[in-house]
Amino acid sequence: MSETPTLFQRRIIIGAGLCIVAFALVGLRLVHVTLLQSLDGGHAAVAVVARADLTDRNGELLARDLPVKDLYARPRILWDKAEAARGLAVATGADERRLLNGFNNAKNPYVLVARQITPDAEARVMALGMPGLEFEQGAKRYYPDGRNTAQVLGVTDPDGGGVSGLELGLQDKLRKAPGGKVATSIDMRVQFIVADELAKSREKFRAVAAGAIVMDVTSGEVLAMVSLPDFDPNLRRMMPGDSQRNIMVQDVYELGSIFKVFTFAMGLEDRTFRPDDVLTIPKGFRIGKHEIGEAHHMPGSMAARDILAQSSNIGSSQIALRSGGHRQSQFLRSLGLLTPIVTDLPEKAYPLYPRHQWGAIETATVGFGHGISVSPLSFTAALATVVNGGRRIAPTFARQAPGADRRGEQVIRHETSVQMRELLRYVATNGTGRNADTPGYDVGGKTGTAEVPGPNGRYIRNALRSSFAAIFPAHNPRYAVLVLMDQPKATKDTFGFATAGYTAAPQTGRIIQRIAPLLGVPNIPLPTQLAGGPAL
C-alpha cells in the first residue's frame, strides 16, 4: 500500500515541474533567437563585408572601413513608445515621427532606429536605460581627405557596396582583399595642389564649375583629377552648392581652340603643310552659306606655326580642309575621341560629333574645336598620345610599377610627335599661352576659349568656357595637364577678358610650378645674358 505524499513532497514536485517548464521555455527561446528569428520577420544578422583600404600611389590612406553599429528597437518591449521615439531621435539624430510611426505600426518585431551610429551616439543611447534595444555590428567608409578626392573616389552605400567613382570601379579588387590595400595612381600631393589652385581660381573668376587633370603621358596614370563643385563624402548628404558629378569624365564639351592640337597633328602627319609655310588669312572665310570669323584681329598672312600660336580659326580651318572630312574623322577616331573612354572609373560620357554629314563646313568647324564635344579625360588621353612619341595611351587609376610604359600602337609618326612638341612650346613662348610658361620647366600648351551652347541650340551670349592643355617638359614630355573653367567672369586683373589666356593659362602655370619639383622634374636654369652680350 503506497503512502500518500506529504505536503512538503508535493511542494517539491510542483517546484521541480515549474523548473522543467522554465528551462523548456528558455530552450525554445534560444532556438527561436538563433535559428528561427529571421522566419518571424525579425531583422536577420547582416554579415559585415570588409573592403580593402584605398591608398594613393605613395601609400597615403584615402578610404578605410571603420567599425560602427546599427541600432534596432523592439516595439513590443518598449515601455512608452512616444517617449522612446523622442529619446532615440535626440540621441541618434533619427526622425522622431518616423520612429513613432514604426513603433506603432511595426509588422516586424524589429524597427531600424539608425545606421552607422558613432560611439558618441551609442553612449547617448545607452544612457537612456531603455529596454528592447539591440546593436548590430557594421562598418562605415571613411575618407580622410574629404572633398579633395570626393568625385574620383566616389562613395559606398550603407551596406558597403560601391556606388560611384573608384569605389565602384575597383569593387572586385576591394572585396577580394579585405583588410588589405589597393593602391591608386593618385598622388595626394599633386591632388591637393590642383584642388587648391582650382578652388582659388574658381572663386576669383566666379566660374560655374572647374576641373583639372594631371596625367603621366607614358604610363597613362592619372595623378590628379579634380572636379568643382564637389561634396563631402563623409557627411552622406549633400549641402547647398554641392555636386557629385565628375565633370571631367561625365560631361562633354566643345573645347574650342585646344582642339587645334589635333588639326595640326593631322596636317603634319598627312604632310599637307610645314610649320614655316605661309597661309593667307582672309577677313572672312566662306564655306557655302556659312562664314568663319576670328575671335580677334589677325594679319593677312601667317606662318603655320603662328596660326597655332595666335589661334587663328580661319588658318586652322584651311589646314583641316586640306586633309578633308573623311580623313579628319578617321584621325580623331584613331586617337579615341569618337568613342567613350573606358577606365577604372565607371562614369563615362558619349562624345557628340557630326554623325550624318561630315562635309566641308563640319570639317572646318571641328578643325578649330566647334561642332564636336568630348570629355576632358578623353581629350587629355589623346593629347598624351600626340606628344608621347605618337603611341596610343589609355588612362588608368591603378598604380603602375615605376617607369612603366603602357603606350600602345603607333598612331602618328614619332617625327610628327616631336614637331607637335615644338609647336606647343612655341605657343607658350610666342603665342596665347605665355601666361602658362613657367621658368625652368619648359612648358608647352594651347589655349582654348569656346562659347557655351544654350538649351535652344544657340550659344549663350557672353558665356565662355576656357581651357588650357599643357605638357611639360616640352622637349621630352612626362606629364599632360588640362585645366577647364566653365563660364569664368572677367576681372580688373584680366583687363576685362575672360578668355583662356587670362584665366586657365596662368592657373595651369601655377599648378605646374608647384607640382613639378614634387614629381622630380628638373628645373632647367635659364640662360644668363650679360649687358650688351649674347645669352650664355
Compute the CA torsion angle 100, 102, 108, 109 (nearest 10 deg): -20
Cα–Cα distance for residue pair 469/484, rounded to 1 Å: 9
Can you say whether the dihedral through the CA atoms of 75, 78, 82, 85 is positive or negative? negative
Alpha-carbon separation of residue 13 from 9, 26, 311 (angstroms):
6, 20, 105
CB 336 within 8 A of CB 294: no
Strands 53-55 and 181-183: parallel
Cα–Cα distance for residue pair 524/528, rounded to 1 Å: 12
Cα–Cα distance for residue pair 253/247, rounded to 1 Å: 10
Cα–Cα distance for residue pair 96/461, rounded to 1 Å: 50
DSSP state of 19: H
As separate numbers, helices (DSSP H) first and strands (DSSP E) second, the chain gives: 17, 14
Cα–Cα distance for residue pair 234/477, rounded to 1 Å: 37
- Phi, psi (degrees; rounded to nearest 5) at 131: -75, 165
CB 132 within 8 A of CB 125: no
Instruction: Provide the CATH topology of domain 191-515.
Output: Beta-lactamase (3.40.710)
In which element (H, E) is residue 462 found? strand 459-472
Cα–Cα distance for residue pair 332/237, rounded to 1 Å: 40
What are the catalytic residues? Answer: 257
Residue burial 60-98, b: 16+ Cβ < 10 Å; e: rest: eebbbbeebbbbbbbbeebeebeebbebbbebbebeeee
CATH 3.90.1310.10 range(s) for the chain read 53-184
The one-letter amino acid code at 24 reads A
Per DSSP, what are the bridge partners of residue 391?
410
Q: How many Cα atoms occupy the beta-carbon half-sphere of 485 within 13 Å?
A: 34
Q: What is the pLDDT of residue 417?
A: 98
End-to-end Cα distance, the chain: 133
Q: What is the pTM of this model?
A: 0.85
Question: For the chain, which residues score pLDDT lower than 70?
Answer: 1-49, 106, 526-536
Compute the CA torsion angle 218, 223, 225, 226 (nearest 10 deg): -140
Q: Omega before 473 cis (within 30°)? A: yes
Can you tell me whether residue 174 is helix, strand or coil? Answer: helix
Q: How many Cα atoms occupy the beta-carbon half-sphere of 232 within 13 Å?
A: 9
CATH 3.40.710.10 range(s) for the chain read 191-515
Integer-rounded Cα Rg, in Å, for the chain is 32
Q: How many Cα atoms occupy the beta-carbon half-sphere of 308 within 13 Å?
A: 33
Q: Omega before 275 cis (within 30°)? A: no
Per DSSP, what are the bridge partners of residue 301?
280
Closest Cα to residue 477, out of 436, 421, 439? 421
* 198 CB burial (10 A radius; 0-12, 13-18, 19+): buried
User: Which cell numbers hold the place of 417?
Assistant: 610627335
For 53-184, CATH gives: 3.90.1310.10
Q: What is the pLDDT of residue 535?
A: 46
Closest Cα to residue 156, out of 145, 144, 169, 137? 169
In which element (H, E) is residue 68 found? strand 61-73
